[in-house]
A and B are shown apart, each in its own frame.
Chain A
Amino acid sequence: MASTNEPAESASAKTMDLLRFATAGSVDDGKSTLIGRLLFDSKSIFEDQLESVEKTSVDRGEEYTNLALLTDGLRAEREQGITIDVAYRYFATPRRKFIIADTPGHIQYTRNMVTGASTADLAIILVDARKGILEQSRRHAFLTTLLQVPHLVVAINKMDLVDYDQGVYERIVDEFTAFASKLEVTDLTFIPISALHGDNVVERSVNMPWYDGSSLLHHLEHVHIASDRNLIDVRFPVQYVIRPHASTDPELHDYRGYAGQVAGGVLKPGDEVVHLPSGLTTTITGIDGPNGPVEEAYSPMSVTLRLADDIDISRGDMIARPNNRPEAAQDLDAMVCWMTPDRVLTPRTKLVIKHTTRTAKALVKDLHYRLDVNTLHRDDQAEGLGLNEIGRISLRVTQPLFVDDYNRNRLTGGFILIDEATNNTVGAGMITGAR
């Protein structure tokens, strides 16, 4: 039923795509103001939410409505006026739906930023135009590239407080560009903004005619993310075997499907594939998607593969192409972010590793260095990694994992480490090499 006054969100639901982005920074950088403005201008803040925040701000004697209260949802956060955890916020424009992973910027919350960045298509780093590039801006940029977030936006905020001066903006751009050349940044965009006044947030600013780029929202709506996923290396971690054996339907009596979420490449019926660890090859006879058979499957689709041959396949196995296989490795090199205050990661630490759908035991063989996330200095004398510290380690795993380098594929290159005693997630790893 066509209707001209149908709301944009639902009218375009069939074609609207999804962008996940992470924001890093502290209240001082104007991060909450920026998020508040994006939510306001896309009509994603509701009246009762705003009233509640206004009331709390007044109760606490604050001069302005504190938009941080919108995202700081836990009692402890509100009482202490700090953001402890990743908060997820949602808004949509007619073109895209956005999921914001709003992460605290301070160094003691590095693990939260790593978590938020792990699924982000894009990261926004806020820089105060008056202060320029600070230690924390460098840290945020480094973590963004460590987690291989494909697009980085440096939003140079509070331009109103430097009289919208092009020189200030350009000095910051130059300084950041010089620093970023040491990192693997694939797509770097600078936008001068004033979150408070709205300059270049939704609309192009009239105060900065010298800036000829997009507004932030326009950039978020149009940045091309389709090619960020790996569409080359076929990787299908088997998650669950579907066998409706009790079925009375004779058609389904012999049905055996291998369910999972595509981690890389494009799979099609008729393709020859290899099963790992067996190394046996077979052919895809059909792919069932959520709405019936599909002609191709790619990340992040959740599908079920039907295969021509009866191979013993179970959870934790991998389907790939015969001439393009992941490394079957028991020795891994990885960058690791340590996430627990309860113990220190040292050589000889025993842990559980979860990688794709496979879980195994792992032993830390070596700690090569601890990285200072502010200066990128490598301390090869370090004896352990504490909470929020990042370093390069070697792991020995009890059974082969089917891995790619993290910079080739985030889903087959990332893993988590679990403490067997507490069952807590204590580390996140990005594979840099495998044997």
Chain B
Amino acid sequence: MQRCDYQLSQLDVLEAESIHIFREVAAEFERPVLLFSGGKDSLVMLRLAQKAFWPAPIPFPVMHVDTGHNFPEVMEFRDRRVAELGIRLVVASVQDAIDSGRVTEQKGRRASRNRLQITPLLDAIEEHQFDAAFGGARRDEEKARAKERVVSFRDEFGQWDPKNQRPELWNLFNTRITQGEHVRVFPLSNWTELDIWDYVRREELELPSIYFAHTRRVFERDGLLLDAETGYANRGDDEPEFDASVRYRTVGDASCTGAVKSNATSLEEVIAEIAATRITERGQTRADDRTSEAAMEDRKKEGYF
């Protein structure tokens, strides 16, 4: 909140910076789109976009890259939020990409559709001629993301070249591209996980129910608690399922997103647990980042979020 000595709280500074980014991109690009998963980061992005253009509506659609392996609670939430805001939802479907032969489903127990999102994402960007896609990635999440620009250039193949990034100084962003290229824009670059939760509390943002403790059928694999209810995680006979009180710290594909054991049913309790945790968000919950030290960098170079 505003203080008498012309000093803003850090959440207010982050909010002002993010709003500046939204307006700059809306002013300088023809066809932006906001990547929306129904997760906490994309919900914070939506709230910031609302504020940036208020009292006018958000001047761009949202896009969900749908793996087909979603938590039903999150899908229900996504549709309700989109209807409330009256914005257009574009769905880029991994299942369609598989059915039409553009991508091939991975095989085996650890098969995940996470990496398969890249093709439908880039196809949808091309089809709709989007020239800027807002993503909710944060620099504190992952070491490759820590090196990424706020306005991050993608060539005509959707590729990221980490060694050839445009310097970003002051609050000036280079938004120039040529036909067929696009940028990814990360308005939450400087937010930490705890900032997101503090903002959720301050703004009284509603979140999908799976962020709070609930009883779920789960099983354990590689130290992660994976969901056994949706059937997407290919549980083997040697992986016994059991009931546990869990919540999700991130919301992603149900085949590779782990739950954490928790009894935190209120926002205050969740924030207290997050603040006390000694393990990173992705390290605790994402199987996809465990394949190698540069897993995220490699996916990003190909066009991942």
B83 an interface residue at 8 Å Cβ cutoff? no
Q: Restricting to B1-60, which residues have a CB under 8 Å from any CB of A?
A: 1-3, 5-17, 19-20, 23-24, 26-27, 51-57
What is the distance, in angstroms, from B199's C-beta to the closest C-beta of chain A? 9
Binding stretch for chain B, among A74-82, A273-281, A389-397: A74-82
Contact, CB under 8 Å: B8 / A424: no
Q: Mark B164-176, 1 if CB is under 8 A from A, else 0.
A: 0111111110101
Contact, CB under 8 Å: B280 / A290: no
Contact, CB under 8 Å: A118 / B166: no
Contact, CB under 8 Å: B169 / A115: yes
Residues of A within 8 A of B131 (CB): none
Residues of A within 8 A of B298 (CB): 75
Contact, CB under 8 Å: B27 / A315: yes
Q: Restricting to B52-101, which residues have a CB under 8 Å from any CB of A?
A: 52-57
Q: Restricting to A78-125, which residues have a CB under 8 Å from any CB of B?
A: 78, 84-90, 92, 96-97, 99, 111-112, 114-115, 118-119
What CA separation (Å) do A48 and B9 show in the bound complex? 30
Partner of B165, one of A85, A97, A410: A85
Partner of A97, one of B1, B5, B10, B271: B10
Binding stretch for chain A, among B118-126, B138-146, B227-235, B250-258: B138-146
Which residue of chain A is the closest to B275 with respect to CB atoms? A7
Q: How large is the interface on B (under 10, 10 to 19, 20 to 34, 35 or more residues)?
A: 35 or more
Contact, CB under 8 Å: A259 / B52: yes
Q: For chain A, what secondary structure do more than half of its interface residues adopt (helix, strand, loop), or is it mixed?
A: mixed
Partner of A13, one of B11, B16, B178, B276: B11
Residues of B within 8 A of A304 (CB): 54
Q: Mark A19-59, 1 if CB is under 8 A from B, else 0.
A: 00000000000000000000000010011110010001000
Given contacts A261-B16, A301-B16, A414-B169, are A15 and B23 in contact (CB under 8 A)? no
Which residue of chain B is the closest to A301 with respect to CB atoms? B16
Given contacts A17-B10, A354-B172, A425-B167, are A243 and B276 in contact (CB under 8 A)? no
A240 an interface residue at 8 Å Cβ cutoff? yes
B107 an interface residue at 8 Å Cβ cutoff? no
The count of A-to-B residue pairs whose CB atoms sit within 8 angstroms is 217
A221 an interface residue at 8 Å Cβ cutoff? no
Partner of B147, one of A18, A47, A85, A96: A85
Contact, CB under 8 Å: A414 / B194: no
Contact, CB under 8 Å: B20 / A13: no
Residues of A within 8 A of B162 (CB): 74, 76, 85
A206 an interface residue at 8 Å Cβ cutoff? no
Residues of A within 8 A of B11 (CB): 13-14, 16
Contact, CB under 8 Å: B278 / A300: no
Which residue of chain B is the closest to A50 with respect to CB atoms? B278
Residues of A within 8 A of B143 (CB): 70-74
Which residue of chain A is the closest to B24 with respect to CB atoms? A239
Partner of A240, one of B23, B271, B279: B23
A186 an interface residue at 8 Å Cβ cutoff? no
What is the distance, in angstroms, from B120's C-beta to the closest C-beta of chain A? 26
Given contacts A244-B57, A411-B171, A423-B176, are A78 and B272 in contact (CB under 8 A)? no
Contact, CB under 8 Å: A74 / B16: no
Which residue of chain A is the closest to B166 with respect to CB atoms? A425
Scoring B11, B16, B167 by chain A CB atoms within 10 A of each residue's CB, the highest score goes to: B167
What CA separation (Å) do A12 and B271 show in the bound complex? 13
A375 an interface residue at 8 Å Cβ cutoff? no
What CA separation (Å) do A290 and B300 show in the bound complex? 32
Contact, CB under 8 Å: B190 / A239: no
B284 an interface residue at 8 Å Cβ cutoff? yes
What are 22 A-B residue pairs whose CB atoms fall within 8 Å in the complex?
A: A7-B271, A9-B194, A9-B275, A10-B272, A13-B198, A15-B3, A43-B278, A47-B279, A70-B143, A73-B143, A73-B145, A73-B297, A74-B144, A74-B163, A75-B297, A90-B140, A92-B192, A259-B52, A290-B15, A291-B51, A298-B6, A315-B27
Apart from A56-B293, A90-B140, A354-B174: 11 A-B pairs, beta carbons within 8 A: A10-B272, A16-B9, A85-B147, A88-B190, A226-B5, A229-B6, A243-B56, A255-B55, A300-B13, A300-B171, A425-B167
